[in-house]
Structure 1
């Protein structure tokens, strides 16, 4: 099995897993050979990644961390909640919003995330502008809860963090209509309005839901940054709650890897066609701004659990060979175990040793980089067999 970004889907690929829409319903069954009509359907839905058949890695377990049908069910539930919330804000009804279904689904997601038997997390963003406000928070919630668990949080804290992620942008309902869909840069007045949304979101949670005050405070602070450059209060370092720092970090990462209406003005050239940054570059961004925008201790947790190249990804080595990741390596982001499938040496996969021979120095150096680059050739340092890029070739 092979994992690919949806933008790399091509006619003739065979689906190894069903494709679900953003609401958890199957739209394409496994075993289907993709054609131009299917690919157009995938693009319209806004699927982030898909899994295709590759006979050279049939024995490799590849799966998303959270089942897409569960993600979709939560997105669907959140769409209903947002509709109810808008109606309550309009009518000024003081009755709490019914969150029983959302709570039950989030309990299921939490148990999935903290389970040892799960797939690699991946930064597959939301490619649907239409459904972004319902899909993006669910993806952010799953990764936030995983980081929370890995940083020592208990179940109650993890659940509160997940709920905060879901409702981080509910304050958008109080913004002027159309401001979030405006292409290009916002003017000063529009930017100030948008920067009030954490306050609005926190107030809505406190007034219209029974979610605890911890989640409301996390939502209030999730745009604050380690160096004090965030909003709405300009808090810095330990003045920001741990949960808010986790949420802010994962929110930025997924937003970079998602399609947004204002993105083209500052995208690298390779991504302008799709209005997204690659998931690898989104991860590199978080690493690059460790100690500036993000808590360095939490970035280290992030880098241990979020592989740049998740299991099933096809990659290229600096010696010209290509392979598929068969196991991620939390101790060295760019040196997972791979299965060689092509290259000038014609070596078979079983003849190739594990890529990582230990490179703590290189990994430590990457925490201090300020320049975000997609391809890094470390062979000039005398190190061999370094991953330098993801391949889109099938």
Structure 2
């Protein structure tokens, strides 16, 4: 029998059927579980959850003075479209989304590794939260996720690729249903890395040929895991299996060429590479966002041209977080895109390349100024330590914001 009780009356031994409210307010990945750990009870009591549905046939009941039993929980409400928000305001919200998403992905991947099916309704809720963040501001979450630490790479990389896939699907004018599938595909695309030994996955140096052969098995291993999940679509499975294919046939695992690679797999390839090369890894520093776009554009035969151009329209030629030099000699970091022109973003200037001294920070909208970008710059070469703080508003860049 299902019964709704106040969260304050929950005790160990109860079987939780559903937690009222948005899942992001409580950070529990599973919607149905036996509450048998004190730390989980304390997390629940400290959360914003007001009501809890318990199943008295699977766990403990309330004492007699508890609330009257009810047989049907209320229907879940689908989140409505959110209005556009300012970058820094959405970054603050995206920090929480990323923290919850990271924990959810860790548990989800663990379930798949152990051969357990994941709850698709919970995964859909996670993708919806990511999608709503991208809708409120298309650059906040995907730029923030780039700041992940190397030891959380696999999980936060999945969150970042999910956000990028959602943004790219919208740019390609895909249907809402396919946008959701794109987000799911991004979330699951690297699940096969759970089958790779940690010594190889997190190796600080270059992989040997034998180790690289093992690493290249992760798409096939991931597809095996997803085939055990009856509700995972063929589109999602295809991205998992083929996101390392290249249009010139030099990719893996099947060496597919051009039209043999599905649109979703081509999208996955672009999003996967962009987040990978802009992220810090045990064996290399991440490239700047603008450098990454430039280098990807030079890899002829790697990506589908139409998909890559749509991706550039998503993130910009000079993405949020890119360090640039202006014709005036000022150096700044890109904080917003101009939807009408990829070459005239909004830049927060803070340094003079001519005097080599800091200047008073100023926000420059290049669409309204005679100044223009004349080149990309390297934070390392200039010795800048807090570039990410200038666009995100977060006080400690290059650390983990995700728990």
If the length of structure 2 is used for normalisation, what is the TM-score? 0.63
Q: In the alignment, which residue of structure 2 is the partner of 1:254?
A: 275
Contact residue 161 and residue 186 of structure 2 kept, 8 A: yes
Q: Find the partner of 1:78 among 92, 102, 105.
A: 105
The DSSP-based 3-state class of the residue aligned with 1:73 is: helix
Q: In the alignment, which residue of structure 2 is the partner of 1:307?
A: 316
Q: Find the partner of 2:291 among 263, 267, 281.
A: 281
Q: Highest relative contact order (Cα 8 Å, sep 6+), 1 or 2?
A: 1
1:332-373 CA distances to partner (integer Å, 9 max, x unpaired)?
54432446667579999799973688xxxxxxxxxxxxxxxx
CA distance in 2, matches of 1:199, 1:177: 18
Q: In the alignment, which residue of structure 1 is the partner of 2:338?
A: 329
Q: Find the partner of 2:95 among 63, 68, 78.
A: 68
The alpha-carbon distance between structure 1 residues 285 and 122, as it changes in their structure 2 partners (threshold 3 A), is: farther
CA distance in 2, matches of 1:176, 1:350: 47
The structure having more radius of gyration, on CA atoms, is 2
Q: Find the partner of 2:374 among 379, 386, 390.
A: 386
Q: In the alignment, which residue of structure 2 is the partner of 1:217?
A: 238
If the length of structure 1 is used for normalisation, what is the TM-score? 0.64
Contact residue 206 and residue 213 of structure 1 kept, 8 A: no
Q: How far off its partner does 1:176 sit?
A: 3.9
CA distance in 1, matches of 2:104, 2:191: 14
Q: In the alignment, which residue of structure 1 is the partner of 2:249?
A: 228
1:242-285 CA distances to partner (integer Å, 9 max, x unpaired)?
1111111111111111122233xxxxxxxxxxx22222222222
Which sections of structure 1, spanning at least 5 residues, go unmatched?
1-21, 26-59, 89-94, 264-274, 358-382
The alpha-carbon distance between structure 1 residues 160 and 337, as it changes in their structure 2 partners (threshold 3 A), is: closer
1:100-130 CA distances to partner (integer Å, 9 max, x unpaired)?
32221212222333x3655555375244222
Q: How far off its partner does 1:384 sit?
A: 6.1
Q: How far off its partner does 1:387 sit?
A: 4.6
- The 5 A counterparts of 1:1-394 are 61-62=87-88, 67-88=94-115, 96-113=117-134, 115=135, 118-119=138-139, 122=143, 125-263=146-284, 275-289=285-299, 291-310=300-319, 315-323=324-332, 325=334, 327-330=336-339, 332-338=341-347, 354=367, 386-389=374-377, 392=384
Deviates more, 1:291-300 or 1:62-71: 62-71
Contact residue 326 and residue 338 of structure 1 kept, 8 A: yes
The alpha-carbon distance between structure 1 residues 317 and 74, as it changes in their structure 2 partners (threshold 3 A), is: same
- The CA RMSD over aligned residues, in Å, is 3.6
The alpha-carbon distance between structure 1 residues 78 and 150, as it changes in their structure 2 partners (threshold 3 A), is: same
How many residue pairs match? The answer is 295
CA distance in 1, matches of 2:132, 2:227: 26
Structure number having the greater strand percentage: 2
Contact residue 248 and residue 257 of structure 2 kept, 8 A: yes
CA distance in 2, matches of 1:278, 1:262: 16
Contact residue 123 and residue 253 of structure 1 kept, 8 A: no
Q: How far off its partner does 1:326 sit?
A: 6.0
The alpha-carbon distance between structure 1 residues 206 and 337, as it changes in their structure 2 partners (threshold 3 A), is: same
Deviates more, 1:126-135 or 1:243-252: 126-135
Q: How far off its partner does 1:140 sit?
A: 0.9
